[in-house]
Structure 1
Amino acid sequence: MIFLSPLLLLGLLALPALWWLVRATPPAPQEKTFPSLLLLKRLTTRREDAARSPLWLLILRIVAVTLVIFGLSRPVLVPHTNDTTNGPLLIVLDDGWASIPHWNERVAAALSLGQTALRNGNPVTVVHAARSSDGAMPEPFTTNDGHALSEYLEHLHARPWPVDRSGLAGVLQRIDLSDKHVVVLSDGLSSPNDAVLQTALGKARSIQDMRWNPCDILRLAAGLGPDGALHAKVEGLNCPSRTVTIRAVAANGGTLATFPAQVGEDKTLTLPALLRNQLDHFALEGMAGPATTVLLGDAGHRRPVGLLQTPGDTTPLIGSAFFLNHALDTLSERRNGDATALLGSSLSVLVATDGALSGDQTRKRVLEWVRHGGMLIRFAGPGLAAEQSPQQDDTSGETQDALLPVPLMNGMRQLGGPMSWGKPQALESFPASSPFADLSIPPDVTVSRQVLAKPETGLQDHVWAALADGTPLVTARTEGNGEIVLFHVTASPDWSNLPISGLFPQMLERLIERSAGVAGSGPTDLAPWRMLDSDGGLVMPPAAARSIHGNDLSKTSISVTHPPGLYGPAHGTRALNVSDHAAPLNEEPLLGTHITPDGAHPDRPIGPWLLAAGLLVLLVDFALSLRRRGLLGPIAAILVLIAMPQAQAQTASIPPALPASAPQAALETRLAYVLTGHDDVDEASKEGLQGLSDYTSARSSAALGHPDGVLPGKDDLAFYPMLYWPITADAQPDAARTKALNAFMDHGGILLIDQQGAGTDMDAGSGGAVRAALKRVTDGLIIPPLAKLTDKHVLGHTFYLLHSGFPGRINGQPVYVARNGDEANDDVSPVIIGNGDWAHAWAVDASGNHPYAVLPGGDDQRTQAYRFGVNMVLYALTGNYKSDQAHYPEMLRRLGQDNPDGQTNTGSTDEDEEDAP
């Protein structure tokens, strides 16, 4: 320990004077009661000496003053350091992207080393290894003042580009190193100019190399592989067994998916087409920085469209390609040609008119292209209507069927005309899950002919547009990483006036926006638009950033002139990442004697703590002085009177003590979720119910605590009003769980069963497995007959008025409740079953953010999901009280108090207002 102001210790000489003052303090006067004035005569005067203060009080005051004096002298605790040398100190600070994982420790070590040298009377020089934002090597910083060194280091930050060993060597050559002790705070990552730096450091008097754990230096690489799938690889130094989590992130910051991966593993990332088209960048969970972030840029949003056509298709006012070319004219980059020419170029969408997909080889090539991420848009016509079913003597039936989203019926349906009883059909409103959901349908758009889809189970899951009679107009399905879309009418006005309406180009635009983009190319210069900073966020480019020629982007490495980030126009950016065209990570050879950062911590001043202790002792002395004078009691009484109302209020709010074994759910209202054994699902359920509980508590009088994870059959469910149960594909039946859930529902609890979007665009591959699991685990549950939930049900207006469905993370999925009320449960449905994936929509992480994207409606859809969740919670807490309000006029009539205005008061609120129960 050292003292920065040792002269103040002379104040200790005043302690004898303090002893003299304390000793001379007279005692407090005492009151005596005399029985009679006659006693005064018997009193004789005698000399009384002044009383002495007790020894403990003298010691207490001397200790207090001593602590204050020591505190004012600014004592500092000096930690043990590795520095065993003397002389001027030169600190070489690696501040490139590889130093980010231990940046704070690196700065603290530099400050510790510098303070030690300054205490020994030696100057300190700091040299940077990375170039500054203007492209120049920073000038060395030299100081003899500890405060100046601390201020300088405090404002430093790491650079998102690598260090420049050659530039650092040039700076060192201008410094006389013969008398200097050099400490290199190295990032441990090798570079091509390491030998140049070693030569420059060879002139130093002594060299030490301080390094941190190299395993913490990670670099993420991700992109499309040769197979058309997304691949990612995490590179590291000497840590092959480390497991990390790769996050696929949307533009709004929501997590689309997470993938655990081993360092060094080539990981294939599987994303549904809908999520893949929302992808903005990849990042490593919990590791911010440019090296752990891979930007994709808007170049993936360039969506060239290829138009396959047949002879005669381009005939003006007759051919299908004529109308398609006009509709696509202002929507996207368009190319016309045959399959060989179109599929040989970069293509995002392929549009095929009737008869354009002829030939087995063409079909196979198109199918392979779709599976690699393309979108095929087909149009019906006489040729497609006349084709035989794939099961009937058609050797190419497999390929033919694979290029259709749904099985079709043979022939063509005629609507209107002299040979038909029907009339042309108008369009039905688009489903909420359709890409066309918010488009306005002109009333004069009609269809007179169409090809019909076979009415099979699950057909509605593939319908994006339908006619007024419910027959499909547009169907679609996922094929590999791409999608196949079929218009059940021609692209010309032969079967419908849709191609000559304003709705047609809008529908094509939505489909093109939904498709996966392709990487752009070209010779144009790409100016820097936004760059990654040391925290992995996008910021304005530094002064040294320069444009990159379009053809050179594929071979440009990261530097101060080309930092990692986005280049090009704002709506057509291309990404340059730390991992692009980078050499493998290798450890740098030691530059001197190896030392560890253990003990390299800055000095710790303890003066404030000593001052606080001294003041505390003085307060104790003051309280004891009041007590000796008899004043402590009155002052304490006044303080008690002031604090009594607050104490009474707090006491009144404390509930009676419960046994220690009582669960927390007995003390406050809590929601619960069924543990599935999958960490990701259970974590999402926890975050989702926590987000819903917070939302409900903030907007209603219901105060909810933290949610609990439970195992029905082992945990007591009696304390929970609602239980959330996410169904996973591997869920198995359990007799104890079934018995516990039956008892839970029988005693008034509500069970919310969620299939988590299985079978939708979010998770197209698990629909059948999850439905089978749902059937297994619900076998034995006493579930009443179910009906589809509508806005007429009490759940549609328990708290919020909901008219636009009951979405979760997925929109447009039906929700089912009990068809008839359960009289034993006051007409409240004991079960709610759906596929909305509500927990992911409600989820809130530890930072207060929403970690999962909501598709396709974004924040508005998330708000609707929260509102439906609030309705469910209050429905579980209050039952059907809203339904009872519908009988208000009848109740008044029976009481002889008819409603004077004759109107029914339902007590419902506006959609943006709240009605607390």
Structure 2
Amino acid sequence: MWMIGPLGFTAPLILTALIALPVLWFLLRAIPPAPIRRRFPGVALLLGLRDEDAEADKTPLWLLLLRACAIAAAIIAFAGPVLNPERGNTASDAPLLIVMDAGWADARDWPRRIERAKVLAEAAGRAGRTVALIRLTDPPEAPVFQAAGVAVSRLSGVQPQPYAPTDLAGWAAAMPQGAAMETYWLSDGLAHPGRADLLAALEQGGPVTVFESPRAVLALQPITFKDGAVQIAALRLPAGGAQELEVSARGLDPAGIDRELVRATLSFAAGANRAETALALPPELRNRLTRFEIAGIRSAGAVTLTDDSLKRRKVALIGGGADAEGLLLLSPTHYLRQALAPVAELIDGGLSDVLLASPDVIVLTDVARLTQAESDSLLDWLDNGGLLLRFAGPKLAASDIARSATDPLLPVRLREGGRALGGAMSWGDPKTLAPFAETSPFFGLPVPPEVAVTAQVLAQPDPDLSQRTIAALADGTPLVTRKAVGQGQVVLFHVTANAEWSNLPLSGLFVQMLERLAVSTRPTQPEAADLAGQTFVPERVLDAFGTAGDPGSLPGVAGEDLAAGLLGPTLLPGLYAGEERRIALNVISADTELQAAVWPERIRIEGMEARQEQALKGGFLAAALLLLLADIVAALWISGRLSGRLAARLAVAVLAFGLAAPEARAQDDAFARAATSEVRLAHVVTGDARVDEVAAAGLRGLGLRLFERTTIEPADAMAVDIERDELAFFPFLYWPVTADQPLPSVAAYQKLNQYLRTGGMILFDTRDAGLSGGSSPESKRLQLIASALDIPPLEPVAADHVLTRTFYLLQDFPGRYAAGIWVEAAPADAEQAEGMPFRNLNDGVTPVVVGGNDWASAWAVDADGSPMFPVGRGSGGERQREISYRFGVNLIMYVLTGNYKSDQVHVPALLERLGQ
């Protein structure tokens, strides 16, 4: 490409035709030929006569310039002018390698990075160079160079990963040796191990240019609980001036709806790269929090999930009246208080009193006898998921109730008396603990050799004793037994809670065992020893933009790997559940420090801002055509063939054509007239011709039903390109989601958010029947598309939602498939008013409806009005199609009329139709 300042030419040789302009000048000067002047006396007879066909003796200078400019504009147009082209290394014809870190730090401005890479690839394509694209978050492999058009098409589907590049040294080894290439590295600006090795390998092939975004990298560290408050810490790089950040804490409100529950402000001092704050929250609110995020930042690093470490359990300690007797160190609950006070909310009082506080755990230390009312209350509490933790002692050993085979508050039957070890009259030496079995929740915990048991209560041999034993002594006698009761469980330590029978309460193992039993939670990152031998199953995982999604078919993770926290393709950030606890694995750990990438001075570093290329060929051609039209008008006027009035009209017409042609307003005006002249339904163009055809046919069928059954008479549906077309003309958009649909541009997202804020509605249809729990390719694509949309919290449509009664009374909303739908969550204060069967929801219309029922296929009709696709089988299928049409009618009525069916004036008629 040949450059003149900001202007480039893709075919600069054509500009040599400008040399011919002087030749054209002389040719134009010679046409028409200049007349020869002769004095002839007879000319006096012609005086006073007027020649209707005047002809100039020579071409005027201004007309010569007009024609020369027209020819020059045409020549320049065919030379392929481009404003602000990507310069690159214009002297190089080597292949182009585009390297993207593609980690969590890139997600915040990912669309700009994709646009930058597209500009690079398109510039290489104009130069005839091949292009290869690699993401450093992928497993290392040799780059594959392809045509630039293939690389550009691939870029639309490239997404960042929710972790940092993990194997840059492997990528360095995978680079081709001795191959000439030019490299453009889109860096996230962070230092990663192995970056220097990869840079050296890339420089062996040719020059390397680095692109870095000027935006600061912001991250949120895991939330901790310390000194009675929630501790929040954020990081930034680079450390700039004073800055404030808003951190949103989200969780489930009392209605079970995910929403923001509290917000905190963090302030970075000038030159500081870390900011901290603390929130003093009541336990009830703190236990609801599930997620903290930096407001306005779409990045997994700006999100931290919470787990059991933030949810302090309420533990009731009941010592059977022995706490007030004797020395403090001999108290049955003393060591339990020491172990649990830092990590749990302790409750004191009688059993009937503490049950009113709904504790998570009740601890009974040597309590042998309970009243029948207390036993019944405990059983009800256990049925709801409580944990009853019991410790033995002299009272329990002597109790005859403990030996009952039907006592539901003990996991096993006990023998009378106890077993003494290590005394003059004992059965033997003090016993140590046996290693924990694989089926035990304590499996993987190291057993200190100094822990010994001198006395215990023994369990009666039973067929299921081995299954209920979760810890045993070296001789095989049970030390800890467990039994499920309803949704809860009963656990018995066969020793005392103090050091009377064992030194176990004095050891660190005691605290770890309580942790494994979910009696307490540690407000720190678990260590490998704590999680060893356990398998954790992912419940929710984060993508690079910080959106939590279904893990799909991801396998379980070993506890050791989870504790190590080495994120990668096989271990994604998210929430992982084990048998007894849940662990949050976040992108940023408590000891993470953001460090800037340091590049050698020889490396050229550019900003991420890419100058927008603009092809000028069309503009120059339009200018040439306009000048030629003006030349025709001028030639006619000079020859005297145009009157002044007609010449003025032609000039105005030519000027209007010239102003309208470059902007191509005719098409836009036609679209606006078509969209606004009548009520029209619209569908979003996906790029898949078959899907778009079905969407158009579906809206055609729905429009026919609206015409037949309501006062709405929609015209033919229209296809909408969200990148180019105006959305405000349509009250409703049907958006079928495909797995490979490109993400909207930044400008399109702005239009979509403005559309949703100003009353528009979008029906998102993943067409996957909702059977894959949000893990289908279409659902995952919708999650990416919706990540940048201003969408409120959603919930499954309630039975009293206005959509159930805007025209038809409905409880199901099927399409070709029958599944649930999601709408905007109702406010927490939406209460049912007196005399109304429905809640007051007169506060707007949900901006989005989300489902996977493939409504367009159920609505679709051909040109003859016949259904295009089968729905179900037989009459049941046709009934489902009819309900699908009714849902469509309800939806359009809801869009056009809002929530008016929640008004009380309609209640009598609705109750009559409902038969109430």
Q: Into which bin does the TM-score normalised by the smaller protein fall?
A: 0.3 to 0.5
Q: TM-score, normalised by structure 1?
A: 0.41
